[in-house]
Amino acid sequence: MRILLIEDDKDVARFVGKGLKENLFLMDLASEGEEGFQLITQEKYDLVILDILLPKMDGWEVLQKIREKGIETPVIILTARDSTPDVVRGLNLGADDYLIKPFSFSELLARIRAILRRGKIQRPTELKVDNLVLNQITRDVCRDKVRIDLTAKEYSLLEYFMQNAGLILTRTMILEAVWDYNFDTMTNVVDVHVNHLRNKVDRDFTPKLLHTIKGVGYVIKAKD
């Protein structure tokens, strides 16, 4: 079995590499996100272990890009980012597991073996809420078979809503998932982008899908 570790911390890389070698795994190492992305697209791996805070291209972008390219290699996120929104974001972007540093190698090994036992994982390529369809491979968005053109940020916002259809999402949750986690939480950027998105996906269609929960946030669903 061949594993790619994308990790810029040399101590963590040595620790994981030693453990994998002792358990008869082959391991390649990339210390930068961009380098890791190139390796994933050029080589065949059975599993990827991915840090988030990486130089040149962070782990979020690496994960999003490989899934957009249709690469289904299992990914375990290994990071010190331990907030619930970070975990949710990683899993929603297509990670198969999320392990928080500091960690024991025995736990990492157990998770690796559990994922590899599953074999190839079939992932849905489309998200649907009523008559609204988002294709996560082509990034096309249609409603009643009418193509809707979105900006990159509007697409990310809609994808996050549809991945959590039926759940009330607070403005803070949306900021942390769609924008940088250090973004000013007092900004009205979420409301502005939701209004733009609503004009595109709801204004000329029925039923209305994007609902405001007063004093809380937003939810996407077919019925109130």
Q: What is the mean pLDDT of residues 190-216?
A: 93
Global confidence as pTM: 0.60
* 125-155 pLDDT, tens digit each: 789 999 999 987 788 999 998 999 999 889 9
Report the pLDDT value the prediction gives residue 99, as an integer from 0 to 100: 94
Q: pLDDT confidence of 215, banded at 50, 70, 90?
A: confident
List own/partner pairs for 60-66 with CB under 8 A and 24 or more apart: 60/89, 60/90, 60/93, 61/33, 62/6, 62/33, 62/36, 62/37, 63/90, 63/93, 63/94, 63/95, 64/93, 64/94, 65/37, 66/37, 66/40, 66/41, 66/94
Q: Which domains, from first to last, does the chain contain?
A: 2-118 (3.40.50.2300), 126-220 (1.10.10.10)
Report the pLDDT value the prediction gives residue 163, as an integer from 0 to 100: 85
